Chains A and B, each alone.
Chain A
Amino acid sequence: MHDVSPHAVHHGAPTGFIRKHVFSIDHKVIGKQYYALALVAVLVGMVLSWLMRIHLGWTNFAIPGLHFLSSTGAPGDVMTPEYYLQLMTMHGTIMVFFVLTTAPFAAFGNFFLPIQVGAEDMPFPHFNMMSFWVTFVAFLVLVASFFVGDGPTLGGWTQYAPLSAVGAVAGPGQGLGVVLWASSIAIFCVGQLLGSLNFITTTLDMRTKGMSLMRLPLSAWAWFITSIMGLTAFAVLMPACILLILDHVAGTSFFVSSNEVINDQVLPHTGGSTLLWQHLFWFFGHPEVYIAIIPGLGIVSHVLITNMRRPMLSHRVLIYSMGALAVLSYMVYGHHMFVSGMNPFSSLAFSFPTLVITIPSTIVVLIWLGSLYGSKLRINTASLFALGFISMFISGGVSGFFLAQPSIDIMLHATYFVVGHFHMVMGVAAMFGIFAATYFWFPKMAGRMMNETLGKIHFWLSFVGTYCIFMPFHYLGIAGNIRRYSSFPDDFLQPLIPVHRWITVAALITGAAQLIFLYNLIHSRFWGKPAPDNPWEGTSLEWSTATPPPFDNFGGKHPVVYHDPYQYGVQSSVGDYVMQTSPEQVKTEREEK
């Protein structure tokens, strides 16, 4: 028997192109890969929304070339109502799973969580690599449904049964399209579970000397909380998708009830429960929207603190509030089902925690506003997007108060009011969080600065643009404009068509403004000004290492942490801050509570 060092598993920096950039086990490369995936996905999702918006504004407008995407879905380049729904489903699925989950959580979390805790890598780098590539496969499987059979599924990103479970008889894409959708999401769940495993163990076990839990930056806390939510939520969505696939391919009856008649055909299924899918889905689905937004809360706090040069009013309360959001998000999921026909008493039981969940949300916002009050905020693109996040989070959150009450929700549920609500509070807000993180951390990730002028133009166009798009949605909803319809021929909706056209124009312009960001991103990546190690004078560990960080993050050293994460507004040898790794003792102006 021969001896092998127990540390033989330690991996050195890879040299080959494949191991370095493709099948990399480096969490930083994996983070960038997730970011690239999210970037591709968001472009696809945005183009889909453009197509939908054009159709909603001008129903018979022929979009040149659309028939190449689907000859049956868009004969003569005009999309059919079914194809509108198929695009809508893909827009929702791609945005929620492959953008809002991957970018703020998997992309930035992978890159910065290990660095912020002071580790060389995640504890299971091969699982981490698998996590990305599994997610990539999931994306391919989903996008493949555009090009097979009669196109992607039309059931919406929630895939309610029985429509999703009865098969091809229910319409285009309801056969193979649903199977591909459910397979894609089940695969995606595997990737996120592997990611969560790494995030949780990194946070608990890989922290460096002196890095107690309360010394973690708020972004690290947000990723940690999100990973626990992901572990719980995706572990439930995956079996739900398995059941859905079995209903399709194996003839089981989990979600289809007896004697369903669709298109004059009596279905062979018996006794299934259609509500069961909704319960399983929303048990995942509501936490999912917090999985999308909580990393944003952490990122925005981190960005704002660095730019206000002082810590939040309360570090601990902010962490506890994020934790409370995570716990409560599992208790409110039924508010998506107020009109589903479940027991009205259940509505009451779900309405109460839904109103309660506004309390931690409000506390977070108040801490932000209170901390911002009187601070000399450094205005840069990252801090502007952080402020924009707060604005969107408040505007979108306020409409949640209305929707939380079943009596009001029954009227508003199937209208554009809900569309406006969730686009602002978890769609655009989370996007602003991604933008804030990008402008803030790009120097560390790419080693170059982004262009601030272009960034500010991008911010203002996006900020004004998204309000122009999504505020009118609320008005449309109150006026009774039903959602999920591809056109509005009813008389009472005719006066609202100009509003739809306004939204479409705003969406096209705001979408085009994102090209500025794309240009800035690519141009800065190759030709931007080289970034210093600590361009924003930050205190957390990512700023104490080289730019870009070496393979083992800290260049063979292990950082030692001496301070709470946000020691700003102090007098030290370097300025008004002291870094976590600096052994310098300073008299703090403000204790972090």
Chain B
Amino acid sequence: MTLAYEGSVAIMATTIPEPPKIDPHRSPDQNHSGNGGWRSLVPGDGDLQVALEYSPPPSSTAIWVVLFAITMMFAAFTSAFIVRKASQDWHTFTLPSILYFNTLLLLASSATLEVSRRRVASFMGALKSQVESPARWLYITLVLGLLFVAGQYVAWSRLRAEGLYLATNPSSSFFYLLTATHALHVLGGLGGLIYVIRKLSKLTLRRSQLVATARYWHFMGILWLYLLLLLWMKL
């Protein structure tokens, strides 16, 4: 299966951003598609042809902006973590083993999201009556994501049962802080998935929206692996 968006404009025009027309008097309804994207650097002598190249929809730029902000936020937490870990009152504890299971869930959800992206691609590329709706794999991804958050809650309950609360020790403070902040962002990603599913059911899903959601979701997985490593390290 291949990503067959571009060649299928005629069939599913409503779901696909049209390539820009080279027309100096564009219709005003393309307000969300931009026209002078950052890849189109016009030379000083004003050759307008270069500026007419297709530019990505703002959501594909925006998602990188969002991921950058999240990265900065966790970088700040990490620096606090490192500084605080150097103090003498830091007591390490064994991470609840369910975390590793949760990790598998989150990684699996990334895989199912990729499957659903391919399904969506073939769905959009064919007549919709011939292919089953790709929403199923999105639902599976959604459930896996929910299970991950529920699993994180189980991990917090395990720690509480051991008597490790938010203020017990800096190590437990950071554990709750980092996992809860990550879980909140995962919930945001779940919101994105629900948005995608709704748009898909209305056949108004745009490729850029699915791509942005997928990028965010995979980033959540990578971020989780990083956090797990940070929390797991005994150095």
A contact residues vs B (CB 8 Å cutoff): 1-10, 117-121, 123-124, 193, 196-197, 200-202, 204-215, 231-232, 235-236, 238-240, 242-243, 246, 250-254, 258, 270-273, 275-276, 279-280, 283, 552, 556-558, 560, 562-564, 591-592
Contact = CB atoms under 8 A, between A and B. Distances in A.
A208 B20 CA distance: 12
Interface string B14-41: 1111000000111011111011111011
B222 interface: no
B32 to A, nearest CB: 6
A236 B46 contact: no
B127 interface: no
Given A209-B35, A209-B36, 8 more contacts: A1-B128, A6-B206, A202-B58, A214-B44, A240-B76, A252-B166, A254-B80, A552-B31
Contact of B36 (A208, A242, A254): A208
Interface in B37-57: 37-38, 40-44, 46, 48, 51-52, 55-57
Interface string B68-84: 11101101110110011
Contact of B46 (A121, A235, A240, A563): A563
A206 B42 CA distance: 15
B82 to A, nearest CB: 10
B98 interface: no
B35 A207 contact: yes
Nearest to A199: B65
A251 B167 contact: yes
A417 B84 CA distance: 34
Contacts of B166: 246, 250-252
Contact of B48 (A210, A252, A552): A210
B61 A201 contact: yes
B31 A120 contact: yes
B89 A271 contact: yes
Contacts of A3: 14, 203
Nearest to A268: B167
Contacts of B94: none
B84 A6 contact: no
Contact of A258 (B26, B89, B173): B89
Contact of B73 (A118, A235, A258, A272): A235
A2 B204 CA distance: 10
A279 B79 contact: yes
Given A231-B68, A254-B80, A239 B73 contact: yes
Contact of B57 (A205, A211, A242): A205
25 contacts: A2-B203, A6-B15, A7-B30, A8-B204, A120-B28, A123-B58, A201-B58, A204-B38, A205-B58, A205-B61, A208-B35, A210-B46, A213-B38, A214-B41, A232-B72, A235-B68, A239-B77, A253-B170, A254-B84, A271-B88, A271-B89, A271-B90, A272-B87, A276-B79, A560-B24
B201 interface: yes
Contact of A562 (B15, B37, B46, B201): B46
B76 A212 contact: no
User: What 9 A-B pairs come out closest when comparing CB atoms?
Assistant: A207-B36, A123-B58, A212-B42, A271-B89, A235-B72, A251-B167, A271-B87, A205-B34, A204-B38
A16 to B, nearest CB: 21
B111 interface: no
A562 B36 CA distance: 13
A235 B203 CA distance: 35
A15 B87 CA distance: 60
B130 to A, nearest CB: 14
B167 A252 contact: yes
B14 A235 contact: no
A123 to B, nearest CB: 3
Contact of B62 (A124, A236, A560): A124
A556 B29 CA distance: 9
A243 B173 CA distance: 10
B29 A10 contact: yes
B51 A209 contact: yes
Contacts, number: 192
Given A3-B203, A120-B31, A558-B25, A205 B65 contact: no
Contacts of A235: 68-70, 72-73, 76
A199 to B, nearest CB: 10
Interface in B98-154: 128
B24 A204 contact: no
Contacts of B181: 239
A563 to B, nearest CB: 7
Given A197-B62, A239-B76, A253-B170, A1 B203 contact: yes
Nearest to A234: B69
B44 A272 contact: no
A234 to B, nearest CB: 8
B202 interface: yes
A564 B43 CA distance: 10
Contacts of A206: 34, 36, 58
Contacts of B15: 6
B52 to A, nearest CB: 7
B150 to A, nearest CB: 23
A231 B61 contact: no
B84 A273 contact: yes
A557 B25 contact: yes
Contacts of A557: 25, 28
B32 A4 contact: no
Given A235-B69, A252-B173, A563-B46, A210 B36 contact: yes
A272 B84 CA distance: 7
A124 B89 CA distance: 46
Residue among A2, A7, A251, A280 with most chain B CB within 10 A? A7
A552 B26 CA distance: 14
A571 to B, nearest CB: 18
A557 B24 CA distance: 10
A280 to B, nearest CB: 6
B14 A254 contact: no
Contacts of B41: 212-214
A117 B166 CA distance: 48
Nearest to B203: A1
A240 B177 CA distance: 12
Contacts of A591: 44
B3 interface: no
B77 A4 contact: no
B83 A273 contact: yes
A121 B31 contact: yes
B66 interface: yes
Contacts of A280: 76, 79-80
A231 B72 contact: yes
A283 to B, nearest CB: 8
Contact of A246 (B35, B46, B57, B173): B173
Contacts of B40: 212
Given A210-B48, A254-B80, A215 B42 contact: yes
A210 B89 CA distance: 60
A207 B24 contact: no
Contacts of A205: 34, 37-38, 55-58, 61
